[in-house]
Structure 1
Amino acid sequence: MPSSNPAAAPARGRHDRFWILGAICLAGLVLPLSFTAPPVAIPAIAAELGGSPVALNWMTNAFMLAFGSCLMAAGTLADTYGRKRVFATGIVAFAAVSLLLALAPSLAALNALRVLQGVAAALALAGGNAALSQEFHGPARIRAFSLLGTAFGLGLAFGPSLAGWLVQAQGWRSVFLSSLAIAVLATVFGLPRMRESRDPDAGGLDWRGSLSSTAMLALLTIGVLEAPERGWGDPWVLGALIGSALLLVWFVRIENRAQRPMLDLSLLRYPRFVGAQLLPIGTGLCYLALIVLLPVRLIGIHGLGTLDAGLMMIALSAPMLVVPMLAAVLNHRVGASTLCAAGLLLAAAGLAWLGWAAGRGEVAGLVAPMLLIGTGSAIPWGLMDGLAISVVPKERAGMAAGVFGASRVSGEGIALAIVAAALAGLLQWRLGQGGAAAGEALNQAAQRLATGDAVRAQALLPQFAPAALRAAYDSAFAWLMYALAGATAVVAWVVYALLGPVAEPAAQMAASAEALCEDGVR
């Protein structure tokens, strides 16, 4: 049986490793692209295929549901049956499904295929991350994972812009064809050079743990996705969240009794492992939330065109091109805990600055704080993938990749849902202070205004002039930014404490992390 030990495998040339890294980074680019790009094509899809708003929204939700709920099981599959095999299965299936999506004859077929695409994406991400950890070691691993984090961030940040251009130039089906092209490149250039590796002590898949974790994450994802539209008190939302909590308890019991669990719960005793899982929550609060909120503000409230809004968003996204690699270079001399905490604190300062500028109704004044937020967020973004893999022995790299992927998707999804609900709640409070009577009209107007639909919000509250609605939005948005700044600063402090306040450069991190976890995973 192939081993995870690099010494037991044939020597891998630097040229081959370069192609493997490039292929996995292409996969890391196309997977978030598949989440952020298709929603831009929804109007064009609706014009051709029809469908209700709920059915159209599930084109995005179906992908996220399948992707997020399958990540942990995919990581265990990679350790058990081989990282290359799981990555190959995922990326080839992703390419095939992308082609079928481009040929989809109906919205129902499109949504069903998006579920399959999400499953394929989970296999490709977990298998690719685990395979990458076998090819690079020490400081080289930090640099490799910083590149992967950069690719992932670029897919999230620039997906909407690419999709908008493709829809306008070639139609909505070209969005899925672009995913097909990138997946084919990753397959052709990466797979022939990738070696197989797996956990030599794996005794088979923990089916009970896999099924319970997948069901738990599926219900959690459903609850988070439906909460902004239905409300947190809706019976379906509450049922999904309560069901997820009960399945979590069952999952913990299963894993505690399993001889070879898919998630070694003893790792939760190690602060560094927990700290690595918290990093996506911090970046979700200070970066991903703005990717969703700012275009709505710029287009719906300030009246900017799509192109102008996209150009402004470059201030938030551009640091992802260079800062993650700079963070990897700095990590040779400065500990990851210090870098991650400093980055999150920079982002928190930028959020406070953004809130001040937004409260004054500025547009051009938003650019500088956006640049500061993007720079601060990009520092931990370039390190957290490598940290998540490095805090466990390499034999369990697939498990670490799956757990981190699941915590990333779940944490970011929860952060986005809470931010959306908080903005609507703050708007409802501000409009109520302005004289709007409590009731369904106020609730609906707040929801419409939170999504940038000022015209319908005013139709629901005709007593408010457009300037008054905008002032209410500016005030609510400012307070939301202050709250996010505080929450990001708290995450920065907790991450710094858990990852270790004593600086540990990348040269020592891999060895010390494996030694730290060795006793807990034997």
Structure 2
Amino acid sequence: MPLPDSPAAASAPGRYDRFLILGAVCLAGLVLPLSFTAPPVAIPAIAAELGGSPVALNWMTNAFMLAFGSCLMAAGTLADTYGRKRVFSIGIVAYAVVSLLLALAPNLATLNGLRIAQGVAAALALAGGNAALSQEFHGPARIRAFSLLGTAFGLGLAFGPSLAGWLVQSHGWRSVFLSSLAIALLATVFGVPRMRESRDPDAGGLDWLGSLSSTAMLALLTIGVLEAPERGWSDGWVIASLIGAALLLAVFVRVENRAARPMLDLSLLKYPRFVGAQLLPIGTGFCYLALIIVLPVRLIGIHGLSALDAGLMMIALSAPMLVVPFLAALLNHRIAAGTLCAAGLLLAAAGLVWLGAQAAAGSVSGLIAPMLLIGAGSAVPWGLMDGLAISVVPKERAGMAAGVFGASRVSGEGIALAIVAAALAGLLQLRLHATGDDAAALAQAAQRLATGDLARAAALLPRLDAATLALRYDQAFAWLMYGLAGATAAIATVVYALLGNASAHAPEQGSASPAVAATAAIEPATSSPAGELADEAAC
């Protein structure tokens, strides 16, 4: 139901318009992760044309994730304050413009700078779109809408490598960004004109101190983790970055506790099920998203597959996203979402162990079956976690809900990826240590191998031929998979303990406080047949 003082309260869109609004937001949910997963496949082609160090090339991915994740909470507050339609419109149009500029980038520094701008635009589009959906759909219809959005997000993550592989091989790396431009334009043309404006009448404006401290904290943490493999964990810059991140976290907590209208309502952290919902994207980050980044590098850079062939192989990881989230939503009527999510993560952990064993043997085709298992396990929580997260706040704070969960999802996944990149480089350095080469050369060679640059790594370590370096890479990759399996299983255990019998089908919260909303979310959802029919009609 629209807010009483909403300008659009008297002109609710019809069923056809709501379908187009949902389609437009889902297109945004598709294109935003597409812009994250597609560029890594293009890294070898970009490096060949524009050059750049391994750290600079990694920042092409991390700059987007950092800006996206750190701005989502602020974007949610902006949506509540200034209007969900307005923020979505600004975000999706800016995203389209920046995508065009990326396709024209003359050098790597410009590319990385534009990726930051693209991440900010993506945060505005996703937070505004999520909040707009929460105003148009209610009850079970809202659960289905957010389930579809989560699936679109997963498909963008999953099929990004396949699309990028075809585009790079057929039209060059710049076409990857042009594809994002095309999808963003479709979302703008079909969705924005049909949206109605809505906002939180009690919104108090943007929490500037909270926004700045959280953004700076995430930036320093990511920089410290990324620089550690090359500089060493004892390096002064790395230590200063990590200490600065810890201090800014303390500042953020203090600011939010004192703010009248905080960007993040910290009282929600008292509720185990809210915390459990925020852990789910971190778990899928370790077991699913990390593979979308590191597997194409291994397949293309180490084992010599073309970008197209590597993209086609990645379909084994992404195909379950087409079906499994919908099956999980159906099963949630009989099995608690917490149980389903934990079981899915454990299934993915088993697949990671299997994948590691195949990688240690140097296999390429043997990766397909474990990738299918990992994809199926990861897809179970993917279709449920949006509904779990949104259900714990009142509807008028929908922007905050979208921002908090989006920020925990993207920043958590970004930090997980930074940890994975650092871990792979560290494992490679350990595997190469026996060569007796200079420590600086070893660190640089490990970084080159981690980005799939086998030729330059071989030039830095002339005592080892390419075949030996590939073997060392496969061994390090296998141990990385075992580590990811352990982390995923640990998160599954904690998620089960925190979520328990929680359901993604939480009742409508109305205007309850966050504390009441979180308490209400503990109880299983119930709805009358009349209510179900009304929601179906609204959809």
Q: Which digits, 9 at most, give the CA deviation of each residue in 1:334-375, with x for residues without a partner? A: 211011111101101111111222223322221111100011
Q: CA deviation at 1:422?
A: 2.0
In the comparison of the two structures, how many residue pairs are matched?
517
Cα distance in 2, alignment partners of residues 104 and 461 from structure 1? 33
Residue 475 of structure 2 corresponds to which residue in structure 1? 475
Q: Which digits, 9 at most, give the CA deviation of each residue in 1:308-339, with x for residues without a partner? A: 32222111111112211222222222211011
Q: Say whether 1:335 aligns with 2:336.
A: yes
Q: CA deviation at 1:141?
A: 2.1
Q: CA deviation at 1:25?
A: 0.6
Q: Which digits, 9 at most, give the CA deviation of each residue in 1:20-48, with x for residues without a partner? A: 11100100111122223344445655666
1:361, 1:474 within 8 Å by CA — same for their partners in 2? yes
2:222, 2:418 within 8 Å by CA — same for their partners in 1? no
Residues 250 and 270 (structure 1 numbering): CA distance in 2 closer, same or farther, change over 3 Å? same
Give the residue type in structure 1 aligned to 2:175. S
Cα distance in 2, alignment partners of residues 172 and 302 from structure 1? 20
355-364 vs 511-520, which moves further: 511-520
Residue 402 of structure 2 corresponds to which residue in structure 1? 401
- The unaligned stretches of length 5 or more in structure 2 are 520-539
1:73, 1:213 within 8 Å by CA — same for their partners in 2? no
SS at match of 1:246: helix
SS at match of 2:314: helix
1:224, 1:413 within 8 Å by CA — same for their partners in 2? no
Residue 16 of structure 1 corresponds to which residue in structure 2? 17
Q: Which digits, 9 at most, give the CA deviation of each residue in 1:159-188, with x for residues without a partner? A: 233233334433444333322221111112
Residue 90 of structure 2 corresponds to which residue in structure 1? 89
Residue 3 of structure 1 corresponds to which residue in structure 2? 3
SS at match of 2:384: helix
Q: CA deviation at 1:454?
A: 3.7
55-64 vs 180-189, which moves further: 55-64
Q: Which digits, 9 at most, give the CA deviation of each residue in 1:365-396, with x for residues without a partner? A: 21111100011011111222222211211121
Residue 536 of structure 2 corresponds to which residue in structure 1? none
Cα distance in 2, alignment partners of residues 86 and 300 from structure 1? 40
2:169, 2:308 within 8 Å by CA — same for their partners in 1? no
Identify the match of residue 517 of structure 1 among 503, 515, 518. 515
Residue 502 of structure 1 corresponds to which residue in structure 2? 501
SS at match of 2:373: helix
Residue 165 of structure 1 corresponds to which residue in structure 2? 166
Residue 487 of structure 1 corresponds to which residue in structure 2? 487
Q: What does 1:13-162 correspond to in 2, within 5 Å?
A: 13-41=14-42, 58-104=59-105, 109-162=110-163
385-394 vs 6-15, which moves further: 6-15
1:72, 1:214 within 8 Å by CA — same for their partners in 2? no
Cα distance in 2, alignment partners of residues 67 and 331 from structure 1? 30
47-56 vs 457-466, which moves further: 47-56
Residues 19 and 515 (structure 1 numbering): CA distance in 2 closer, same or farther, change over 3 Å? same
Cα distance in 2, alignment partners of residues 12 and 249 from structure 1? 44
Q: CA deviation at 1:68?
A: 2.3
Give the residue type in structure 1 aligned to 2:251. W
Q: CA deviation at 1:445?
A: 3.5
Q: CA deviation at 1:477?
A: 2.3
Cα distance in 2, alignment partners of residues 100 and 472 from structure 1? 39
Q: What does 1:449-460 correspond to in 2, within 5 Å?
A: 449-460=449-460
Q: Say whether 1:417 aligns with 2:415.
A: no
Give the residue type in structure 2 aligned to 1:504. S
Give the residue type in structure 2 aligned to 1:141. R
Cα distance in 1, alignment partners of residues 26 and 354 from structure 2? 33
Q: RMSD across aligned C-alpha pairs, in angstroms?
A: 3.0
Q: What does 1:227-246 correspond to in 2, within 5 Å?
A: 227-246=228-247
SS at match of 2:3: coil
2:445, 2:461 within 8 Å by CA — same for their partners in 1? yes
Cα distance in 2, alignment partners of residues 63 and 236 from structure 1? 22
Q: Say whether 1:371 aligns with 2:372.
A: yes
Cα distance in 2, alignment partners of residues 437 and 47 from structure 1? 27
Residues 352 and 51 (structure 1 numbering): CA distance in 2 closer, same or farther, change over 3 Å? closer
The TM-score, its normalising length taken from structure 1, stands at 0.89
Give the residue type in structure 2 aligned to 1:439. A
2:88, 2:125 within 8 Å by CA — same for their partners in 1? yes
SS at match of 1:23: helix
- The unaligned stretches of length 5 or more in structure 1 are none
Cα distance in 1, alignment partners of residues 445 and 30 from structure 2? 37
75-84 vs 195-204, which moves further: 195-204
Cα distance in 1, alignment partners of residues 427 and 45 from structure 2? 32
Give the residue type in structure 2 aligned to 1:202. A
SS at match of 1:205: coil
Q: CA deviation at 1:61?
A: 4.1
Residue 254 of structure 2 corresponds to which residue in structure 1? 253
SS at match of 2:237: helix
The TM-score, its normalising length taken from structure 2, stands at 0.87
Q: CA deviation at 1:505?
A: 6.1
Cα distance in 1, alignment partners of residues 48 and 468 from structure 2? 34
Cα distance in 2, alignment partners of residues 149 and 484 from structure 1? 23
1:348, 1:484 within 8 Å by CA — same for their partners in 2? yes
Sequence identity percentage: 81
213-222 vs 394-403, which moves further: 213-222
Give the residue type in structure 2 aligned to 1:517. A
Residues 438 and 103 (structure 1 numbering): CA distance in 2 closer, same or farther, change over 3 Å? closer
Residues 414 and 47 (structure 1 numbering): CA distance in 2 closer, same or farther, change over 3 Å? closer
Residue 211 of structure 1 corresponds to which residue in structure 2? 212
Give the residue type in structure 2 aligned to 1:32. P
Q: Which digits, 9 at most, give the CA deviation of each residue in 1:403-443, with x for residues without a partner? A: 222222221122112222222333333344x5646733433
